[in-house]
C-alpha cells in the first residue's frame, strides 16, 4: 500500500487530499484501488498512515468493514458532507442488468483488448446513463456521470468517461444487436415464464435535430411527433404480452408502416421460428396484400380493420345479441361466410361518448362557417371557384363531420357565386349507430369474442412502450447524424427499455402495481455521500456512505427483495 495525493477543483480553487491506495494484479495487468480517502494530512499524519500501511493494516474488502475500529476524537463542529451523488437509480439499474445477464453477455461479445476501459463496461455506462438520467452522450460525459455513483459501481473514474469514448462504445455495441435481442428474449422467458405466443407489432417515428445529411434513412414522412418540418426514422417494435420486447427494426422516415409487415414477420420468424404464434396489428398495418401474406404462410392473426368495413355489418350492429366483456364494453362474433375467418364487433360506451362529442363539435364548426360564407356571397360578388376552394378546405379540416353536409356552389347569370348547403340525415343516422364501434378480424376461430378482444387490446402495451421510449428514456429528438450512430442510439434505448420493463414485472409480482416509474423515482433519491470527520490530530477521516433509506424506500426494497450494500469498493481501471 502507499499514499497518493489527489486533487479536485472546487469554487475555482485547487484542493489537495490524500488517499490510501492498494496495488493488486489482474488478467490485464497491475491495477490500483482506493482503500480509504484520508482528507488533508500534515507530514506527521502521512508518516503515521504510511507506517500503519506497511505494518499491520490488511487489505480491505470494503470501506466500512474488515478493519478494527480505531477511536479518535472528532471535531463535531467541522463535520461535513461532500460529493453527494445519485446512487439508488444507478445501483438498481446495475442490479437489474446483472439479473438479465447483460453484463456477462457483453463481456463475451466485447472481449477486453488493449483499450484502457473495456467496451463492455462502457456499454453498461451508456445503458445505465440512459436509464437513470436520460440525456445525450455529451451530457452524460460532462455532467450525468459525475453526478451519479456510476464511478464507484463500475470502477471507472469520471476522468476516463468522455464523449469520444462513449461514441466509440456505440460503434462497438451496434454489430451485436441481434445477439443481444436473442439473449434478452431467452432470459426474459426464463425469468417470467414467457412463451411468446402473442406478438404485438406497431410502428412509431422519432425525429432529428438538424439535416442528418449523413443518414440515408433520415427522411420526411408522416410524423407521429407532429414535427413534419424535421427529418425522421421509423421504428418498428415487436413485443409480447405485458410489453416485454422481442425485437425491433429501423426503417426510413418516409416508409409507410403497412409496407414493413412482411419484412418484420419474416425477420422474427427467421430468428425465433413460427411456433404457432398469433400476430396482432392495428388497422394502420393492414392491407389486402398483408392479409394474404399472413394467410399463405399459415400464420394466425388478430387485426384491426378500417372504419369503412363496419358498413358491411349494419344489420349485426342493430341486433341485440351483444356479449358484455366488462362494464361499458360489448363484443359480438360474426363468422365469415367461408368459415376461415371471424369478425369481432366491439362497442365501447366511453368511446361512443367521445366520438359523439367530436361529431357534434365539428358539425357546429362547419355549420357556422358555411352560414357565414352564404351571407358573404349574398353581400358581395365572389368568384365561384374561390368559394368552392374555401368550402373544400373547410371540409378537409373537419373531416369527422364533413360527410354530413351536402354543399353546392353555383354561378348566377352575373357570374356571382351562390352557395347552398343541407344536411344528410342518412349520414347522421349511420354516425349515431356506429359511434363507439370498431371491427376486428381474425383466423383464430376457436377463441371466444372476449378472448380475441383481450388479445387485441394488448396492443396498448406496444403503444405504451413507444411512450416510454419518448418520455422517460427521451429517445427524441436524435442528435446523431450518421446511420450507424442513430441505430446504436436506438439500441441503447431498447436495452434501457428492457431493464425498465423488467422492473415493471418485478413490481407487479411484488404487489407494487404496474407503474415502475414511481418506484424508480423513489429509490433514485438514495444518495452516496462522503462524510468528512475532522479529528483533533488534524487528520480528516473520510467515509463513503450510502444514505439511509426512508421508511417508504425501505418498504419498497423489502417488497422487491433488495438490500442496499453496506460498503462501496472503489476501483480504478
pLDDT band at residue 64 using 50, 70 and 90 as cut-offs: very low
State whether 204 and 244 are in the same domain.
Answer: yes
One domain, residues 201 and 301? yes
Confidence of residue 462 (pLDDT cuts 50, 70, 90): low
CB 158 within 8 A of CB 146: yes
Where b means 16+ CB within 10 Å and e means fewer, 356-365 reads eeebeebbee
Q: What is the pLDDT of residue 571?
A: 34
Write out pLDDT tens, residues 170-185. Answer: 999 999 999 999 999 9
Percent of the chain with pLDDT over 90: 44
Would you list the DSSP string of 163-191? HHHHHHHHHHHGGGHHHHHHHHHHHHHHH
Residue 325 lies in a domain: no
- Rounded mean pLDDT, 186-206: 87
Query: What pLDDT, on a 0 to 100 scale, did the predictor assign at position 301?
Result: 94
Cα 424 vs. chain centroid, distance in angstroms? 46
Average pLDDT, rounded, for the chain: 85
In this structure, the answer to whether residues 467 and 503 fall within a common structural domain is no
**Looking at 405, 434, 463, which one is the last position of a domain?**
434
pLDDT given at position 321: 85
Q: Looking at residue 333, what is its pLDDT?
A: 92
**Domain co-membership, 566 together with 487:** no
Query: Do residues 183 and 257 both lie within one domain?
Result: no
Query: Is the model's pLDDT at 139 over the cut of 80?
Result: yes
**What integer pLDDT is reported at residue 554 of this predicted model?**
92
pLDDT at 461: 64
Least confident of 9-13, 238-242, 298-302: 9-13
pTM of the model: 0.78
Check residue 199 and report its DSSP letter.
E
- Does residue 209 share a domain with residue 298? yes
Share of the chain above pLDDT 70, in %: 90
CATH code at position 463: 3.30.420
pLDDT at 100: 95
Residues with Cβ within 8 Å of 69's Cβ and at least 6 positions away in sequence, in order, are none
> Using one digit for the tens of pLDDT, what is the confidence trace for 473-521?
455 667 788 899 999 999 998 999 899 889 988 998 999 887 788 899 9
Task: Check residue 55 and give its pLDDT.
Answer: 56
Q: Same structural domain for residues 219 and 252?
A: yes
Q: Is residue 203 part of a domain?
A: yes
> Do 296 and 198 share a domain, yes or no?
yes
24 band by pLDDT with thresholds 50, 70 and 90: confident
Could you tell me if residue 544 is inside a domain? yes
Same domain, 253 and 299: yes
d(CA 432, CA 494): 43
Total domains, the chain: 4
> Among residues 368, 401, 434, which one ends one of the domains?
434
- Spatial separation of the C-alpha atoms in residues 344 and 433, rounded to whole Å: 16
Ramachandran angles phi, psi of 341, nearest 5°: -130, 165
450 lies in the same domain as 400? no
User: Does the residue 233 lie in any domain?
Assistant: yes
Identify whether residues 412 and 424 lie together within a single domain.
yes
Residue given cell 366511453 in the structure block? 350
The residue whose grid cell reads 398483408 is 290
Q: Give the domain extent around 32.
A: 2-87+526-572
Task: Please report the pLDDT score of residue 71 as a whole number.
Answer: 66
Q: Is residue 35 part of a domain?
A: yes
Q: Mind spelling out the 3-state secondary structure of 196-247?
A: CCEEEEEEEEEEECCCCCECCCCECCCCCCCCCCCCEEEEEEEECHHHCEEE
* Structure confidence at residue 123 as a pLDDT band (50, 70, 90): very high
Examine the domain organization and report whether 301 and 229 are in the same domain: yes
**323-374 pLDDT per residue, tens:** 999 889 999 999 888 888 999 999 999 999 999 999 999 999 999 999 999 9
On whether residue 49 sits in a domain, the answer given is: yes
| Predicted local confidence at residue 336, as pLDDT | 87
Residue 315 resides in a domain: no
| pLDDT of 290 higher than 90 | yes
- Mean pLDDT for 207-232 is 88
List, in order, residues 6 or more apart from 129 with CB less than 8 Å away: 135, 137, 140, 144, 145, 148, 150
Domain annotation covers residue 341:
no
Amino acid at each position: 500500500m502507499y499514499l497518493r495525493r489527489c486533487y479536485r477543483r472546487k469554487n475555482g480553487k485547487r484542493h489537495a487530499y490524500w488517499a490510501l491506495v492498494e496495488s493488486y494484479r489482474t488478467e490485464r495487468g497491475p491495477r490500483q484501488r482506493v482503500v480509504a480517502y484520508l482528507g488533508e494530512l500534515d507530514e506527521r499524519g502521512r508518516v503515521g498512515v504510511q507506517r500503519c500501511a506497511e505494518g499491520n493494516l490488511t487489505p480491505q474488502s470494503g470501506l466500512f468493514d474488515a478493519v478494527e475500529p480505531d477511536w479518535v476524537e472528532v471535531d463535531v463542529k467541522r463535520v461535513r458532507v461532500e460529493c453527494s451523488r445519485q446512487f439508488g437509480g444507478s445501483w438498481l439499474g446495475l442490479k437489474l442488468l446483472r439479473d438479465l445477464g447483460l453484463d456477462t453477455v457483453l463481456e463475451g461479445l466485447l472481449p477486453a483488448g488493449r483499450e484502457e476501459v473495456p467496451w463492455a463496461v462502457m456499454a453498461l455506462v451508456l445503458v445505465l446513463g440512459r436509464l437513470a438520467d436520460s440525456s445525450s452522450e455529451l451530457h452524460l460525459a460532462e455532467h450525468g456521470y459525475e453526478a451519479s455513483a456510476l464511478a464507484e459501481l463500475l470502477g471507472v473514474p469520471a476522468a476516463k468517461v468522455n464523449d469520444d469514448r462513449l461514441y466509440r462504445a456505440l460503434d462497438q455495441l451496434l454489430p451485436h444487436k441481434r445477439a443481444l435481442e436473442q439473449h434478452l428474449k431467452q432470459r426474459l422467458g426464463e425469468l417470467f415464464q414467457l412463451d411468446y405466443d402473442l406478438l404485438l407489432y406497431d410502428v412509431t417515428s422519432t425525429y432529428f435535430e438538424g439535416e442528418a445529411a449523413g443518414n440515408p434513412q433520415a427522411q420526411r414522412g408522416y410524423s407521429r411527433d407532429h414535427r413534419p418540418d424535421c427529418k425522421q426514422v421509423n421504428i418498428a417494435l415487436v413485443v409480447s404480452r405485458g410489453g416485454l420486447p422481442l425485437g425491433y427494426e429501423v426503417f426510413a422516415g418516409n416508409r409507410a408502416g403497412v409496407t414493413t409487415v412482411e419484412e418484420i414477420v419474416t425477420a422474427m420468424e427467421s430468428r425465433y421460428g413460427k411456433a404457432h404464434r398469433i400476430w396482432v396489428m392495428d388497422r394502420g398495418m393492414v392491407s389486402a396484400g398483408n392479409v394474404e401474406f399472413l394467410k399463405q404462410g399459415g400464420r394466425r392473426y388478430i387485426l384491426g380493420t378500417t372504419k369503412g368495413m363496419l358498413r358491411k355489418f349494419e344489420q349485426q350492429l342493430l341486433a341485440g345479441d351483444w356479449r358484455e366483456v366488462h362494464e361499458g364494453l360489448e363484443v359480438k362474433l360474426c363468422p365469415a361466410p367461408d368459415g376461415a375467418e371471424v369478425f369481432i364487433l366491439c362497442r365501447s360506451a366511453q368511446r361512443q361518448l367521445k366520438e359523439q362529442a367530436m361529431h357534434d363539435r365539428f358539425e357546429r364548426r362547419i355549420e357556422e362557417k358555411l352560414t357565414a360564407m352564404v351571407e358573404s356571397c349574398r353581400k358581395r360578388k365572389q368568384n365561384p371557384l374561390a368559394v368552392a376552394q374555401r368550402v373544400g378546405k373547410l371540409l378537409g379540416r373537419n373531416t369527422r363531420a364533413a360527410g354530413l353536409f351536402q354543399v353546392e356552389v353555383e354561378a348566377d347569370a352575373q357570374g356571382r357565386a351562390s352557395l347552398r348547403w343541407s344536411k344528410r340525415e342518412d349520414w347522421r343516422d349511420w354516425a349515431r349507430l356506429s359511434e363507439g364501434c370498431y371491427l376486428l378480424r381474425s383466423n383464430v376461430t376457436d377463441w371466444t369474442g372476449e378472448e380475441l378482444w383481450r388479445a387485441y387490446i394488448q396492443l396498448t402495451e406496444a403503444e405504451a412502450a413507444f411512450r416510454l421510449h419518448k418520455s422517460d428514456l427521451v429517445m427524441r429528438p436524435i442528435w446523431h447524424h450518421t446511420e450507424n450512430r442513430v441505430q446504436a442510439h436506438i439500441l441503447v434505448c431498447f436495452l434501457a427499455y428492457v431493464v425498465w420493463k423488467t422492473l415493471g414485472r418485478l413490481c407487479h409480482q411484488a404487489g407494487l402495481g404496474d407503474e415502475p416509474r414511481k418506484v424508480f423515482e423513489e429509490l433514485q433519491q438514495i444518495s452516496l455521500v462522503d462524510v468528512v470527520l475532522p479529528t483533533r490530530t488534524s487528520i480528516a477521516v473520510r467515509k463513503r456512505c450510502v444514505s439511509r433509506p426512508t421508511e417508504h424506500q425501505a418498504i419498497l426494497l423489502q417488497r422487491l427483495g433488495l438490500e442496499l450494500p453496506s460498503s462501496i469498493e472503489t476501483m480504478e481501471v
